[in-house]
Structure 1
Amino acid sequence: MTTDDLPAGIGAPATRALHGAGYHRLEDLNGASRAALAALHGVGPKALRLLDEALAARGLTLAA
């Protein structure tokens, strides 16, 4: 199993939603659609902001 490195601050509902959609690492989210992530139950503006910040720190981004 891969190590989960999603930011803890996104909250449990967002983490569960991302895991359910197959995202376990920040690298998995690179290029993922922001709209698709926002449509996941539990992934709101705060989670997206924190994911943006964590991705940017690694030189990664979400797709528009």
Structure 2
Amino acid sequence: MPSDAGEALTLALADACHEPIAATQPYGEDDGVMRMIVTDHAFAVLLVGEAFKTITVLQVTYLP
């Protein structure tokens, strides 16, 4: 992944660490658990764990 695309994804993931629901979009049904981040050149699927305050990155796709 080019550095500019990686940097945008990194910043979006950092925002998601602080405010997971506000900084992401629902992935499928809005259950507050499966979320996604979409930037100009990347897409990431996240699993948000409210109980332990965790975010697990399940998939990252580079969009050229």
- The question of a shared fold, defined as TM-score above 0.5 by the shorter chain, is answered with no
- Say which structure is richer in helix: 1
- Say which structure is richer in strand: 2
Q: State the TM-score, normalizing by the size of structure 1.
A: 0.31
Q: State the TM-score, normalizing by the size of structure 2.
A: 0.31
